[in-house]
Amino acid sequence: MKTRKYAQRSDTVYFFGTCLMDAVYPDAGMAAIRLLESLGVTVVFPPGQSCCGQPAYNSGFVREARAVARQQIRVFSKPYPIVVPSGSCAGMMKHHYPTLFAGTPDEAAARRFSDRVYEWSEYLATVLAVELEDRGEPLTVTWHSSCHALREMDVVRHSKALLRQLKNVTLVELQRETECCGFGGTFAVKQPAISAAMVRDKVDDVRQTGASTLVAGDCGCLMNITGAMDHAGVAVAGKHLAEFLWERINGQ
């Protein structure tokens, strides 16, 4: 994987609100925006944005995925960094948009767009070089790495670095951290039995850490794992990284 060269800090960024964050975890989205704003960054949320196109793309609907991607390229038109609170969506927009438009008149625009995409924790840890002050009570957490954040975006190190800045938070690693939780977007729908077996393994791993909170950077994984924990009667809270950090620096 290539080492990324990071741009200088921008006073203004775009924020891409993922489908699941919008529908299921809006508080996490607001926390991600508020934390950026607290660092002196102006956040622009284009109202015309929609899905990143990954579900269509992964299902082989290239024409439909291209139409969705073209919409994002159009509405995120100014040269601001595009900050995405999801390794999965960020990976689609950064690594697959150029492929999606390869050999078409939109290829150059897609590449310019993808060059501006940053996963949220990556942007905070590198471009903004944030230093967090933990005002919360002592807490033990564990961390789940989404497949795309780990393998495609290579941003898990940044997410964990932010967690480790919190002086009152003890991070206990999962024994099988690199394993998929079984969500995989449409995979959970197409292969429900396999998906269920995978998330059961993940829940067992979480339980064995003794942590009271599971933190993750992708809403799909978070929804899948917390749903399975609720079903299994495992009393571990689930938080998106943005919401967790916002609460900690505000003493919640």
Using 50, 70 and 90 to split pLDDT, how confident is the model at 192? confident
Average pLDDT (2-24) is 88
Check residue 188 and give its pLDDT: 73
Q: What is the pLDDT of residues 85-98, one digit of tens each?
A: 999 999 999 999 99
Count other C-beta atoms under 10 Å from residue 247's C-beta: 15
What is the SS3 assignment for 52? Answer: coil
Angle, vertex CA 198, rays to CA 193 and CA 23, nearest 5: 85
Averaged over 54-63, what is the pLDDT?
Answer: 94
CA distance 178 to 76: 32
Name which residue leads in pLDDT, 220 or 186.
220
User: What CATH topology corresponds to 139-249?
Assistant: Rossmann fold (3.40.50)
Per-residue model confidence (pLDDT) at position 109: 98
pLDDT for residue 50: 96
Q: What is the dihedral of CA 234, 236, 240, 246, to 10 degrees?
A: 160
Cα separation values, 25 from 70, 165, 234, Å: 25, 24, 20
Predicted pLDDT of residue 2: 57
First to last CA, the chain: 38
Q: Residue 83: which H helix or E strand, with range? A: strand 82-84
Q: Where are the domains of the chain?
A: 12-127, 139-249
Q: Provide the pLDDT for residue 146.
A: 95
The band of 164, judged by pLDDT with boundaries at 50, 70 and 90, is: very high
